[in-house]
Every structure is written in structure tokens, then in C-alpha cells.
Amino acid sequence: MFYANGKLAEKKVFKDPVHKYVHVEDRLIWDLIGTAEFQRLRRIKQLGTTFFTFHGAEHSRFNHSLGVYEIVRRMIDDVFDGRPEWKTEDRMLCLCAALLHDIGHGPFSHSFEKVFELDHEEFTQRIIMGDTEVNAVLRRYDYHFPEKVAAVIAKTSDNKVAISMISSQIDADRMDYLLRDAYFTGVSYGNFDLERVLRVMRPYNNQIVIKQSGMHAVEHYIMSRYQMYWQIYFHPVTRSAEVILTKILHRAKTLHQQYYTFKHQPVHFYSLFEEEVNLEEYLKLDENIMYYYFQVWQEEEDSILQDLCRRFMNRNLFKYVDFVESKHALNNWVEISSLFKKAGIDPEYYLVVDSTSDLPYDFYRTGEEEARLPIMLLMPNGDLRELSRESEIVEAITGKKRTDRKLFYPHDLLTEDPKKAKIKEQILKLLKG
Amino acid sequence: MFYANGKLAEKKVFKDPVHKYVHVEDRLIWDLIGTAEFQRLRRIKQLGTTFFTFHGAEHSRFNHSLGVYEIVRRMIDDVFDGRPEWKTEDRMLCLCAALLHDIGHGPFSHSFEKVFELDHEEFTQRIIMGDTEVNAVLRRYDYHFPEKVAAVIAKTSDNKVAISMISSQIDADRMDYLLRDAYFTGVSYGNFDLERVLRVMRPYNNQIVIKQSGMHAVEHYIMSRYQMYWQIYFHPVTRSAEVILTKILHRAKTLHQQYYTFKHQPVHFYSLFEEEVNLEEYLKLDENIMYYYFQVWQEEEDSILQDLCRRFMNRNLFKYVDFVESKHALNNWVEISSLFKKAGIDPEYYLVVDSTSDLPYDFYRTGEEEARLPIMLLMPNGDLRELSRESEIVEAITGKKRTDRKLFYPHDLLTEDPKKAKIKEQILKLLKG
Amino acid sequence: MFYANGKLAEKKVFKDPVHKYVHVEDRLIWDLIGTAEFQRLRRIKQLGTTFFTFHGAEHSRFNHSLGVYEIVRRMIDDVFDGRPEWKTEDRMLCLCAALLHDIGHGPFSHSFEKVFELDHEEFTQRIIMGDTEVNAVLRRYDYHFPEKVAAVIAKTSDNKVAISMISSQIDADRMDYLLRDAYFTGVSYGNFDLERVLRVMRPYNNQIVIKQSGMHAVEHYIMSRYQMYWQIYFHPVTRSAEVILTKILHRAKTLHQQYYTFKHQPVHFYSLFEEEVNLEEYLKLDENIMYYYFQVWQEEEDSILQDLCRRFMNRNLFKYVDFVESKHALNNWVEISSLFKKAGIDPEYYLVVDSTSDLPYDFYRTGEEEARLPIMLLMPNGDLRELSRESEIVEAITGKKRTDRKLFYPHDLLTEDPKKAKIKEQILKLLKG
Amino acid sequence: MFYANGKLAEKKVFKDPVHKYVHVEDRLIWDLIGTAEFQRLRRIKQLGTTFFTFHGAEHSRFNHSLGVYEIVRRMIDDVFDGRPEWKTEDRMLCLCAALLHDIGHGPFSHSFEKVFELDHEEFTQRIIMGDTEVNAVLRRYDYHFPEKVAAVIAKTSDNKVAISMISSQIDADRMDYLLRDAYFTGVSYGNFDLERVLRVMRPYNNQIVIKQSGMHAVEHYIMSRYQMYWQIYFHPVTRSAEVILTKILHRAKTLHQQYYTFKHQPVHFYSLFEEEVNLEEYLKLDENIMYYYFQVWQEEEDSILQDLCRRFMNRNLFKYVDFVESKHALNNWVEISSLFKKAGIDPEYYLVVDSTSDLPYDFYRTGEEEARLPIMLLMPNGDLRELSRESEIVEAITGKKRTDRKLFYPHDLLTEDPKKAKIKEQILKLLKG
């Protein structure tokens, strides 16, 4: 068999609750799925701490990656194949980029990257280009293939069609995660009509556009997305767990820097703490490893690390109030912080403002620093028109930055222990206004 | 508030993909869910290694336990409440028993219990009766409540109605796991009509019976169950992963007994290896901890432990053939084993027969060692008739023991390494016949 | 049995694809469902001519009426029951009003009412108050009950809570038809989370309000509604069939007024043609009767009636273009009409402008002639706030009148018959611009 | 455009609730759907009187016919295309046969054919071969095409593969109606895994076989079918409505033969009553026409016709008891009949035994008069084995004739009118035993 165009002797399928089946007929895809780096995605949850709020959300990035691949495969095999502007030779490039799009994610990406100043996109590049099984498989197909796939994911490729299938305002990545996250959490918001959206997509002028007759299906997709963000992804209970997680990592790093002696040496974290992570070490990290440390750190002597880990393991989370500038900022902030200290509670770890403003902001905005391609409608006369100029519902939310800031704090510490009750009462009064 | 009858100020709900919502209005239930022991169930998958075959099956026992609770709650609040044979005072007992039914499960129960000769049912009893948060919460409700709940789960209680809601041939446990496992794997087999089954259940003569008019719904449930066992639970790929897992634990235990020096000391396993596990140690074990060790053991010097862990982590599983008495047993077995040794592959770890005969066997059989209560139909005239006497489909599978025996072996070791190729060829010939 | 509070000996259920089951425990409800007037709703489609576009939409008003009843029943029994502002004695009133809400609908309501200048709401009142089985059943419950039920449906009752359950911007009627029409057409747009919306509804200050925490679920409902209107209810193919239907009725009436001799006397239509319909005659009309006439009129001598009936029966509909003021109005209209006449095609029946502007307009507007109650959010502090002031998405579509005007014409007559080809060519040019 | 291989300029889709979309790319298919004879199927319900029991079951044969077409299209385009044993030139033949399979059905087929001694299969042949739009469209494709399509539907064709796609134990017809009837009634029984079944089908040795690895999916399909028959299709309430319908037709025919003067002459029935139906008359018949007569016959003077029509229109059906040989046959039958007469109730119309034994009987039996092809499994070694020899569940129901006989009677006439109360009491005693 000539590997490059290798088809499997018999098509394989994965039973998938979202797409019914994920179909694989190419040996290259099959082999990529079998690599250690891809299998590692089974040990990283798609939605990090969301399962604390929506208990069904225990699905992994492995799941999602297969789904993105399947959507791109359908676009190509069921819709684009045979159309004038579609280049058959792009098929494998698009499939691989779809499958490997999230390969660089670490455990609990959001918190993890923040504390250790890492970027999963960089690791995606390193995994594809470095000394890995993924790289070997891709290179077996074509010596320059890893570079090509990496460039599509990095959005530096000349192949704009491939890029827009994976990362645009209506790409396979978003379409899969909306449907998948809706399925696993059990909410109905994310259920737009994937089949209809796929059927109106077209490669056109070096990008993917939407036939105008499909505008309503795209509106529905965008509304689904809007709802999912506010109902699921930004849920304050999830963010509370994330706040605690971030503070655990922050505390452990600080202790390490202060030469604290851990009962259980965090060997997996050393290079992270020292900000010199190599690829091999990075690949060993997954959420199981993290949980292992959270488990054993419950018995550390440092009371902050111990307490935060116990909270995380037992879902004893922080409560929250809306952060109100006039109530909580400036002098008030100084006062509240100082009262926390008086009450014996370290505000650095126990008084946390979390803001989600940045995320919804970049949905349908164009022309900013990291400009996102707008969704273009292909009109019956062949013109292209930007979606929000045709859809009043989309227009209503285009470019609107919506911010949610919350103040997280350990309500139990302020109410259950009678010591310094006066101060605590005062804190609660200031927090709740 | 008088705790014993405590209702929450506002009903709480959990969004659940299977039951839409899980409703909690009792403080006792809310507090039990918040215990460390119950939260621990989030770290144990409901279906162990099944996710290697059906990637959606990543849901935890936490999920399932809430579901069993919800089904029992509906039985009581929507169907039994107000009926003559239903005792209102049993409500809380049934709800707690439903919720805590699986609380004693360890990680990867099946393999784990086999290798370490443990019994999760015993740990369920110890968790409910011992020095735990669960015990404290139950005792706050009523000093003798832990004993009562434990007795229902252990099936030693006098309250046969409560027992049959949790553990009988058509109990809330089975009903939830069929629907839930079908949902997360994405197969349609498990979708019987829960609402219809609930509506035809009645407490009657100290057990739960089914109104005869609902017989077809029960048939459908039983067929669903049959299909789920053969399509999902006994899938050979899942069993292959389980075989490897069992052999990992077996190898680690053996090495420990042989005073092997682990690079990374398996402190969490010491008491298991020595078969003297106390409750506190047991509760620290979860699948994250297990995966941590499998991860680090990939770098152990012992080549068997190393290899098996790599296989498990990277889903490089054993292949299988049907085990055929005439081809594989007796002298042939001796010959194959001896060839394995000659090829440098230890048959104790790499040549494994796995049989699933025991599981389907006890579905609808009665009168055996651990006799299971049959499903009784309540006829219009008030008589009770055993289901299989009314339903020819159920009769067809009643008491039929169906066995599936497979022989698992590392196909790659026999084909990819050219050393001792002749012997390996001979092995393959003997295995495949 | 004292009828007034009569419960059925055993609860009855109807299997319903949208709500799973419709539950009936009251004898009064059971008896109402059994009346001739209610059974008649089986012979009137919920969506009139929509099935020509979405073939699944063949469901009847009987279906929908049961669904509205079931939603109101759940509001009451699962959510309102026991709350301080809910009056138990309103239960039966609300259930009956829900069930009978659409009882006065005629066949293909929209076209029918337009041509014969009837109003289904008036017939609803006459059915409830007149000499009917429905009236007899209601009166058996309480002599003044028909008046009370009729007043709730007519929105003249003092019981504003009952009115707002049945007819407001988020009432049981709309909630059922969105879910039901989505189900039967097979589109996903209508799938908002009914269970969540129900759980956040409250009777408060003599109306039904929504807890603020449920705002997103209501947004989702409103977006669903918006999508359903533009994707399903206003679909131009459906309107094309309705245009033809309207013209059939119009033609038959005109012929009757001109003393045309029908081969098949339209006895069921006489009183309609003469605009003196009594209740008994009205109740005999259903869509089967209409189809009977359309069938036989296919063989009438009048070529217009014959042609229009054949079109309707065989789904040979009119084509359409957007109606553009500058292209199609004023002098242009006169010119096109006159060309139609020259081509031998009567423009009164074959050149039709249909506009849907009125329908979306009254979604979320307040303070107009027939002011609709706005949706009020109940804030945590007990205040009420109008929805569009809290939700930017809803705000975006509030009060926005969106109009769609289309021009319908028989494309086939202009292209398939070579006679007067020049004139026809000219017509097509003027129509399409 | 060369018609024979004509593709539509743009693929058309029908939104279908069961298959999501029905795809049409061939002009021939599009034109067939547009014929008067095919559109007529919109006016015949798929499940006759079932909607009286399951109110959702209002879907038409038009719906189902599109569904059968779509399943065959998927078999061909997604599974068979490119396989060695599949002949590309059979594609259009199979698609047309699928689409037109039910074209000859009359209104309420079962009762209709019984009373008027007609056979819808004969009319299918006449419609395809006669002077119809369907014939003209088929002939435009290929002069001999009507004959070929008709032969596949009649099972007389040499093309066994085509026949087995449309009419075998696991054909597209059955697969669609199980899924569709389950969807519209709202029950879950019919939900087997269509996609999986399709993927394991293969043309092989001039028939369609099932890969052995798909056996469980086929078992599931067969169990679904079994459940649907007993839960839906044979539901006694549906049969009660059918009994009344049959008796209406029977009565009208009898009256006609007795020169009874109808107030409203049943012109549409004349040729039926006289058993000389021509094709043109047959095609005018649909359920709307039938309902028209049932409506007007409610006011006939003949009290039996009047009463039966009122019952049917208002769903005032007969009650039923199991027909028990020892209680109801022979002398007892004579006695009951004679008591009916004494009570002034004509037993010919009001005392009816209905038996459903024949239908389940021919499910999975082989070798009888009209032998049905068994389902063959294609074993890994290329052998074929009959399904019931591999599946113990299927074996359990193979060839088992199950009969359900019920006795239908008007309970209301025996209880609500006090005249001849003694006799009626006696009747009830004899009926119920």
C-alpha cells in the first residue's frame, strides 16, 4: 500500500452521541488518533470545571476533537466535493488540522495557562513539529506535511479556505462544541441545525461563505452560541471552581518559590514553577495528575494550600456577589481587604474578582487587534454581504461587549466560625451592600 | 428549623441530560450530596474502561447516583404517594438508600475488587456506618438512620418495598444506568419508556409489582437491558482494556511482594497489596490516583509493568479471538503457553482468557444461590403472575446462561518484531486456528 | 359522585409526542374532550396549508388543544400549587379555558375568515354559551361556568391570572404551538426549554411573571418564536397555497352571487356565501368538507374555479417574487394587470400581493389598540421589570415591524403555453424586473 | 437536457422529522412527486384510525412514501455505491419502486378493501401501467420503465435485489414505518438504529444480506417491530374504530342494494357498491371524501347508518372484551345474538368479533403459501446463515402465531337507556362472564 493515499481496508466508525457516527476511512487519520499525544486528550475535560455546575459535562477533549474532524469531513465529502472552488488536494490537510486543532491543550487550560504563563497554541505547534508520534505519522504521509498542518492551525497558512473551516466565526470547532456541550450538559440551547448550516456552506473567493437562503440557520447558530456562553460557559459556579483552582496553582508556585518543603514533592510541577517547561514534561501533564496533587495536598501543612485543595476536591466553593465599582473598588477594596486580614483570611487567596468581559466581546466584532473574519453571505446575485448587515438579530449583538464581574469569597469562613464575628459581619455587609 | 423534616427554602435542581432535571427539596438529600464521600464519586467512571470503546462513556458514578435518586423520588412523589399500600414515612429512607447505593465503589470496580479481593458492598456499609460525613449527616436526621439505610442497601432490612425499589430485576438502579449509559455512549438500545414503567409500578404485598397493562413496557425494558449487555457492557474491546488493567494491578502487587524497588513508591497501594485496607485509605482511592500511577509506572524498569501501563495509557490494547475449548484448552493451552515463553512473552500477563458468562446469567433466573426477586405482574383480578409466564419474549431468555469467552493476546508483539518470527507464526496459527 | 369535584376512578393519559403524556384526572376535562365540538378539532389542521411546504405538519388543532391544557395543568399542579398568590379554586377554570381556547376555529381559519368575514373568537364564545355539548358539560359542573370560561378566553374576565396563562406574550398557547409545530415539521428552532420556563413562572400581583433568574430561558423562547415565524409560519410556499385557497373561496362566492349553476351544489356554503351562518351550520364545516368541494369543483365548467381547485389539490402552486413598490405598484401595477388581461389571465385571481407585516408586529409591542401585556421579570428584590429592559436581545426585536410582501402569480401559465408568448414574456420581465 | 439522466439544477430537500432531510437530485423523482396520483397520498392517513388512540398519528402516506424513498436512496448512495455486487443501473429503478410502492392505497385501506373486495396492490399496478401522470413521467424516462417498476413492486421482477430492498423482512418500507409511526405516536418502541442497519446491509448473491457483525442491530429492529405491532398497530381502541368504519361501509352498501333512498346520494360509492370500480373513480377516493359522507350520513333516516356515523365522527366507540371460545362461541353466541335482537340492537352491526391473528403470523415465518424471504447473515467466512439460527431472541418469536380476538359491542346502548334493562343486564353478564 502506498501510504500517502492509504485507505483503510474497511471504513471504521466511532459511535458518537452527537454525530451518531464518526467515519474514518483514511489510514493517516486512524494512525493520528492512535498516537499517545492524541489519546492524552482523553484525560483532559472539554469544559474544565463546568462539571461542578452541570454534572453531565464530564466529556473530554478527545470527544470534541473527533467531532471537529467529523464536521470537516462532512463539509468536504458531503458538500464541497465536486464543487468548482473546492480543491480536492486540500482534503487531508483540512481533516488533519481539524483533528489536531486542540492537541496542545493542557489540563484545565484556562487557569493553567494564566498561572504558568503558557499558551496552548504554542504547544500545539510544538507537538506537531516536535519529536512526537503525531509528527512521525504526519511526516510519513508527506515530509512537509507537519508544517502545512501547523500553519493552518496557526492561521499563518496561505490556504484561507482551510483556515476558515477550523477557525472562523462559524467553524467546525465552534459548531461541534456548541452541540456537544449542549448534549452533555443536557441543555437545549446549543441545538442549532448543523445539517442545514453545512448544506449552505460554500468555498468561495478563498474563504467559506454561507448561501443567503441559509441566513436563518446561521442566526439560530449565533443565538445558540450567545445562550451557551451566558448559560453554561460563564456560569458563576463554574468560575468559582476555577478561581479556587487558579489560587491552588498560584499558592503551590509561591510556596515552591519560598522553598517550602512539600510533604509530597510536586515533581510534575517543577519545570512549570520555574517556567521552563519542555515538551516531554508538558505531555505528561493531564487532569489526573493535577487531581493527584490536589488530593495529596489536602494534607499539606500550609493551611491555605490545604484548605483550597479540600474545597476543590469536595466542591466546597466560594460564594459570589456582583462586583460593583462603587461598592467594591478603590477605598472600599482597601477596607474590605484589610478587614479580611484582620479576620485572619488572606485576601490574596480568598477575595477574588473574576471578569468574563473579554470572551463575549470577540464573538462578532471585526477589525480589532486579532481581527476575526466576519461571516459572509453569498447573495443570489453572487455578491457577498456581511451577516450583520442582513440580520437584525445578529446586528443587535454585533460588537457589543458585555461584561460580567463577580467577587468571589468563602462565605462559610465568614459565617460558620464564631471567632471575630464582628469583623466578619462587617465584611459581609460591605460585600453585599 | 427542625432538621428531621427539613425542606430547603427553595427547591434545588440539577440539570441532568437523562432526566432533564433532578429535583431536591429535602435538606438531608442536599447535605448528603455535599459530603466528601459522595463528591468522590465524580472521580470514578460509571463504566470503567468502556470509554476506550465508546468514547462518550466518560460519565461518573456521581451522575448515576443522582439519577437513581431521581427515579426513586418520582416513583414516590408522582406515583406511590397517596396510594393505600404506600407508607409515607418510608420516603426519606428510600431516597437516601437510592442516593447512597453505590457509595462504596472503588476505582474500576471490577478489576480492582478481583485483584485486591475487596467488595464494594462491604465498603458501602462501612461508609454509611463509619466515621464519615455521610454517617454524620444521616445521624443528624435520626440517630438510627444510618443502620436503616445500610440495611436497605444490604437487602437485610425488613422493608421489602424499599429494597425492591433499589435492588430487584426492575429497580431504579438498572433503569437509570440503562438510560444513562445509552445516552452517553450514544446508542439507542437503552431507550425504554421510563415514564410508562413508573406509571405502572405499585407497592403491593410488601414488594413492588407491575400492573399487567404495562407488561409491554417492561418487555421493552428487558430487551433494552439484554441489548445493552451484549452491545455495550460486554464489548470485547472494553474487556481487553480491563484485562490489561487487571494485569497491571496484579503485576504491581506481585512486584511489591517480591520486594521490587519502585522508582515511584506506590504509597496509595501499600495497604491494598497487603490486604489490610482501612476506610480512610480506601476513600482516598479514585481513578485519578490510579491513572497517576499508571502514568509514572510507564517509566518503571520492570518491563512488564512498563509495557502494560503504556498500553493502557495509549490504548494499545490486546487483540482477541473466541476461546474455543477444542482449539485452546488442555494440551493446546500448554503448548501455546510454552510457545509464548519461548518467544519471550510471559503468558501469565499476555495470554488471558476472559469470560462473561456469569453476568447475563443472573438476569431473570430465580431460585439460585443469590436468588433475585422475579418481576410480578398485578393482574386485573388482583392476582400476581411472574412476568415470564405472561411474556413469551421474556420467557425466551429467562434463565438462559449465555457465555462469551475470549482469548486476549498482544497481536503487535507477535507481528511487529521480527525476532523469533517462526515461533510467533506458530502461535498465531494456534490462536486463530 | 358529586360531579363538581369529580375525579376519574383512574387517571387517564394520552400519549403525546411533545409532552410525552397528557394527564387527565378530572371528569369534567374528560367529558369535554369527548364532546362532538372538541372531537371536530381533529378535522382541522393546526397549520392549515403548511403541510404543502413541511410535509410533517399534518397535525390537528385537537393535538394542540390537548397540549395547551397539559401545559396549564403542569403550571398549576407542579409549580403554582401551594404558592401564596395562587388560588386553588381557579384550577378548573384555567384548565377548561386552556382546553377550549381554540374551539371556535373553522377550517383553514386564516383564508376562511377573510373571505367570509367571520371571526373564530366569536364562534368560540357561541360554542361555549350556545346549545352545544360543551355548554352542557360545563353547566353540569356549575351553572355559571360557561360564562366564566368564555370570559377568560375573551379576555374580559376579572381573573387576570387565568387570562395571562392562556393569552399573553408567554402563554401556554404559544408555548405549545412552538414546540408542537417544531416537532411535526421537524425543525429544531422551536425547542426552547419548557420545563425551565415553567419552573420560573409565578402568579404575582394578579398576573403571571417570570423570576429574573429565568430570563435566559425566556430569551430562548422568544428567539425560538421569532425563528418559527420567519422559517415556518410565513414561508412563501405556504402562503402561495393560502393565496390559491382564498381565491377558490372568493371565486365560489362570486359565482354563487352571479347565480352560476354549480354541477355540484355547494349546500354547505350557502349560508356562508350569504353571510348568515348559524352555529349548527358552522359546526358542520371542517377541512374534510372543504376538500370534498375542492375535489368536485375540479370538474366545474367555470375555468377559474376548476383551475384553482386543481392547483390546490395537486399542489401546483403559484410562484412568487418580492413585491417591490417601485417595480410593481401604481402605473406598473396597472400595466401588469392589463397585460394579464391581454394574455387571457384574470388578474383578480392570478396576480396577488400577500403581505405578512401584521403578524410579527404584535409580538413584543405594548400600548397599541389591542395592547398585549408585556413579559415582566420578578427581580430578587421583588420589583417587576419589563423584559426588554433587561435583555438586549429581546430589546433588539421589540416593536420592530418587519414586513414581507410577495407577489404571487402562475408561472406555468406564462411559460408553458406558447399562445401570446410575447405578452407573457413582457409580463415576466415586469414581474422579475 | 437529456431527460433520462436528468439531474436537477440544484438538489432539492424536503424537511423530514424522521430522516431530517429527504434529498432529491433526480428530475424523474421530482416529477413523480409532483403527479396528481402521488399528491393524493397526502389525503390518506398512514395509520387509518390509529389517531383515535394515539392522537399524534395523523401523518399521511405521502410522508411515509418519501421516507421509504429516502432510505433506499441512502442504501444506494451511502452504502452500496461502488461495491462489486451493486449494479449502478439499478439505482433509478429502486428509487422509483420505493417511492411508488404504496401509490395504490385507498382510504382506510384495511376496512375499505375488506368491504369492497379490492386489493390496493392491484391498483398500484393499474396506476403505474394505466393512463396516469405517474405512467407518463415514468415512460418519459424510458418507454419500458413503467413495466419494470411495476414488476419490482409486484415481486415478479427478475431483479431480486431491487425486490428485497422494498419488500422483505427488513426492507425500506418497514424500516420507515416503524421509525415514522413511533415518531408521530410519540412512543419509543420503534427507535432502532437505522444508520447502523444500513451500514451492515450488502447486495450479495442476488439479495440483500446483513453482515454478521450487525446482528444485534437487526435483533433490535425486530424487537421494535414486535413491540410496535402489539402496542400500536393492534391496539383495541384503534380496532374498535375500524370495526365501526367497516360496519358503516357495509351498511351503506346493503342499503344501496336494497334500493334505500339516501338523502344525500353517495355518488362516489356507486361503482364500489356495484363492484365495478374504474381507475379514474378510484383515484377520486380519499379520506376527505369518506369523511364527507360520514358527516352527511349522520342525518340519514336509517338509524343504523346514522348511529354508526355519529359514533365514528364523535369517537363514541365500541367497548370490548377478550373473545373467549368457551364463553362466547357456539350456543352462547346464538344466545347473545338473540338477546341483542330482543333488546332491539342488530347484532350484525353491533356485535363484532375482530381477530388480529393473521398479521403477526407472517413476520418471521418462512416456507408458507406466500413465503417471505428470511433475513440472511453474511458470516465473516462468506457463508450465509438465516438470522433465527444465530439469534436466540429472534428464534423465540420465529413462526409463533399469536392471536388476539376481541368482541366489540356498544356498551353505552346497554347501560344508558333503561328500556329492556333486564335483557341488557343479561347480555352484559354473558359478555363479561
D150 with D268, same domain: the answer is: no
Rounded distance between C-alpha atoms, residue C214 and residue C78, angstroms: 17
CB contact under 8 A, C396 and A400: no
Helix (H) or strand (E) holding B247: helix B236-257
Give the C-alpha distances (Å, rounded to integers) separating D143 from C21, D137, D156, D163. Answer: 52, 10, 19, 21
pLDDT band at B365 (very low <50, low <70, confident <90, very high): very low
Question: Could you tell me which of D248, D285, D43 has the C-alpha nearest to residue C43?
Answer: D43
Q: What is the pLDDT of residue A368?
A: 45
Kindly report the number of other CB atoms within 10 A of residue B421's CB atom: 12
Q: Does D230 touch chain B (CB under 8 A)?
A: yes
Q: Does B263 touch chain C (CB under 8 A)?
A: no
Residues of C in contact with B199 (CB under 8 A): 13, 21
D210 with D266, same domain: the answer is: no
Beta bridge partners of A26: A7
Q: Does D77 touch chain A (CB under 8 A)?
A: no
CB contact under 8 A, B188 and D192: yes
8 A C-beta contact, residue C8 and residue C174:
no
Rounded distance between C-alpha atoms, residue D198 and residue D193, angstroms: 9
Q: What average pLDDT does this structure show over B176-180?
A: 97
Kindly report the number of other CB atoms within 10 A of residue A380's CB atom: 8
ipTM above 0.85, yes or no: yes
D150 with D33, same domain: the answer is: yes
Say yes or no to pLDDT of C363 above 50.
Answer: no
What's the CA angle centered on D366, arms D365 and D367, to 5 degrees? 135
Rounded distance between C-alpha atoms, residue C429 and residue C421, angstroms: 12
CB contact under 8 A, B189 and D193: yes
B254 with B199, same domain: the answer is: no
A147 with A279, same domain: the answer is: no
Question: Could you tell me which of D61, D40, D58, D38 has the C-alpha nearest to residue D49?
Answer: D58
C-alpha cell at position B330: 488442555
Rounded distance between C-alpha atoms, residue C305 and residue C404, angstroms: 28
Say yes or no to pLDDT of C112 above 60.
Answer: yes
Helix (H) or strand (E) holding D226: helix D215-228
Is residue C371 included in any domain, yes or no? Answer: no
CB contact under 8 A, A397 and C395: no
Cα of first residue to Cα of last residue in chain B, in angstroms, is 72
Residues of A in contact with B15 (CB under 8 A): 54-56, 185-187
C185 with C269, same domain: the answer is: no
Q: What is the pLDDT of residue C3?
A: 53
Is residue A23 included in any domain, yes or no? Answer: yes
CA quadruple D128, D129, D130, D132: dihedral positive or negative?
A: positive
Is residue C131 included in any domain, yes or no? Answer: yes
Is residue D365 included in any domain, yes or no? Answer: no
A241 with A164, same domain: the answer is: no
Q: Closest partner residue to C191 among A188, A226, A402, by Cβ?
A: A188
Is residue B396 included in any domain, yes or no? Answer: no
Give which of A238, A288, A310 to mutate to test B binding, by max B Cβ within 10 Å. Answer: A288
Burial classification of residue B188, based on how many CB atoms lie within 10 Å of its CB (0-12 exposed, 13-18 middle, 19 or more buried): buried
A257 with A323, same domain: the answer is: yes
What is the residue-averaged pLDDT of chain B?
91
Rounded distance between C-alpha atoms, residue C200 and residue C379, angstroms: 12
Q: What is the pLDDT of residue A3?
A: 53
Q: Closest partner residue to D396 among B189, B193, B396, by Cβ?
A: B396
Rounded distance between C-alpha atoms, residue C379 and residue C383, angstroms: 5
What's the CA angle centered on A324, arms A319 and A328, to 5 degrees? 80
C386 with C344, same domain: the answer is: no
Say yes or no to pLDDT of C365 above 80.
Answer: no
Say yes or no to pLDDT of D273 above 70.
Answer: yes
Q: Does B286 touch chain A (CB under 8 A)?
A: yes
C-alpha cell at position A254: 509561591
- Given A183, A207, A234, which residue is the final one in a domain? A234
Cα of A152 to nearest chain D Cα, Å: 30
Residue with cell 448543523: A194
Give which of A189, A192, A194 to mutate to test C binding, by max C Cβ within 10 Å. Answer: A189
8 A C-beta contact, residue B256 and residue B242:
no
Is residue C192 included in any domain, yes or no? Answer: yes
Question: Could you tell me which of B344, B68, B83, B364 has the C-alpha nearest to residue B225?
Answer: B364
Cα of D84 to nearest chain B Cα, Å: 28
- B400 or C347, greater pLDDT: C347
3-state SS track over B267-291 = HHHHHHHCCCCCHHHHHHCCHHHHH
Alpha helices by DSSP H, listed for A102-235, are 109-116, 120-129, 133-141, 145-153, 160-166, 172-185, 194-199, 215-228
Rounded distance between C-alpha atoms, residue D54 and residue D57, angstroms: 6
Helix (H) or strand (E) holding A24: strand A20-26
Q: Quick one: what percent of chain D has pLDDT higher than 90? A: 76
Say yes or no to pLDDT of D359 above 60.
Answer: no
Cα of A254 to nearest chain D Cα, Å: 54
Quick: pLDDT tens for C379-390. Answer: 999 999 989 888
8 A C-beta contact, residue B266 and residue B293:
yes
Quick: pLDDT tens for C142-174. Answer: 999 999 999 999 999 999 999 999 998 899 999
Beta bridge partners of B26: B7
Question: Could you tell me which of A53, A190, A183, A40 has the C-alpha nearest to residue A100?
Answer: A40
CB contact under 8 A, B395 and D400: no
CB contact under 8 A, C20 and B195: yes
Cα of C21 to nearest chain D Cα, Å: 9
Rounded distance between C-alpha atoms, residue C94 and residue C78, angstroms: 14
DSSP string covering D227-266, please?
HHIIIIIT-HHHHHHHHHHHHHHHHHHHHHHTT---SS--
* DSSP-derived pairing of the beta strands D376-378 and B20-26: unpaired
What is the residue-averaged pLDDT of chain C?
91
CB contact under 8 A, A39 and B286: no
Residues of B in contact with D396 (CB under 8 A): 392-393, 395-397
Q: Closest partner residue to D195 among A20, A195, A199, by Cβ?
A: A20
Q: Does C13 touch chain D (CB under 8 A)?
A: no
Question: Could you tell me which of D290, D299, D48, D252 has the C-alpha nearest to residue C288?
Answer: D290
Q: Does A411 touch chain B (CB under 8 A)?
A: no
What's the CA angle centered on B80, arms B366 and B67, to 5 degrees? 70
Residues of A in contact with C193 (CB under 8 A): 187-189
| Contacting partners of chain A (3+ CB pairs under 8 A) | B, C, D
Q: What are phi and psi of A202, to 5 degrees?
A: -145, 140
CB contact under 8 A, B284 and A295: yes
The one-letter amino acid code at C77 reads D
CATH code, C226? 1.10.3210.10
Q: Does C20 touch chain B (CB under 8 A)?
A: yes
Rounded distance between C-alpha atoms, residue B228 and residue D22, angstroms: 31
Rounded distance between C-alpha atoms, residue C138 and residue C148, angstroms: 10
CATH code, A347? 1.20.1250.30
Cα of first residue to Cα of last residue in chain D, in angstroms, is 72
Q: What is the pLDDT of residue C372?
A: 63
Q: Which of residues 179-208 of A touch D (CB under 8 A)?
A: 195, 199
Q: What is the pLDDT of residue C396?
A: 75
Is residue A363 included in any domain, yes or no? Answer: no
Question: Could you tell me which of D293, D295, D312 has the C-alpha nearest to residue D253?
Answer: D293
Total structural domains within chain A: 2
Q: What is the largest CA-CA distance in chain C?
A: 79
Q: Closest partner residue to B223 among D223, D392, D395, by Cβ?
A: D223
Q: Does A21 touch chain D (CB under 8 A)?
A: yes
Q: What is the pLDDT of residue A263?
A: 94
Say yes or no to pLDDT of C319 above 60.
Answer: yes
Q: Closest partner residue to D63 among C15, C36, C56, by Cβ?
A: C56
Residues of A in contact with B185 (CB under 8 A): 15, 17
| Residues across chain B | 433
- Given A188, A211, A234, which residue is the final one in a domain? A234
Rounded distance between C-alpha atoms, residue D355 and residue B298, angstroms: 68
Quick: pLDDT tens for C78-96. Answer: 999 989 899 999 999 999 9
Q: Closest partner residue to C186 among D15, D34, D43, by Cβ?
A: D15
- Given A234, A266, A284, which residue is the final one in a domain? A234
8 A C-beta contact, residue C4 and residue C31:
no
Residues spanned by the domain of A22: 6-234
Q: Does B56 touch chain A (CB under 8 A)?
A: yes
Rounded distance between C-alpha atoms, residue D366 and residue D377, angstroms: 16
Quick: pLDDT tens for D97-116. Answer: 999 999 999 999 888 998 99
Is residue C395 included in any domain, yes or no? Answer: no
Rounded distance between C-alpha atoms, residue A231 and residue A57, angstroms: 13
C54 with C92, same domain: the answer is: yes
B38 with B118, same domain: the answer is: yes
* DSSP-derived pairing of the beta strands D20-26 and B384-386: unpaired
Q: Closest partner residue to B20 among C13, C21, C195, by Cβ?
A: C195
Residues of C in contact with D136 (CB under 8 A): none
CB contact under 8 A, C313 and D59: no
Q: What is the pLDDT of residue D367?
A: 43
B287 with B422, same domain: the answer is: yes
Residues of C in contact with A392 (CB under 8 A): 396-397, 400, 402
Residues of B in contact with A187 (CB under 8 A): 15
Rounded distance between C-alpha atoms, residue D248 and residue D259, angstroms: 17
Size of interface A-D (CB pairs under 8 A): 8
Rounded distance between C-alpha atoms, residue D239 and residue D223, angstroms: 22
8 A C-beta contact, residue C266 and residue C252:
yes
Q: What is the pLDDT of residue A372?
A: 63
Kindly report the number of other CB atoms within 10 A of residue A131's CB atom: 10
Q: What is the pLDDT of residue D366?
A: 40
Average confidence (pLDDT) per 10 residues, chain A, 433 residues: 69 95 97 98 97 98 98 96 92 98 94 90 97 97 97 96 92 96 92 94 93 92 88 94 97 96 93 90 96 97 98 98 91 95 97 71 40 82 90 78 89 92 95 85
Question: Could you tell me which of B351, B338, B356 has the C-alpha nearest to residue B408?
Answer: B351
Q: Does D63 touch chain C (CB under 8 A)?
A: yes
| D344 Cβ contact partners less than 8 Å away, ≥ 6 residues apart | D419, D420
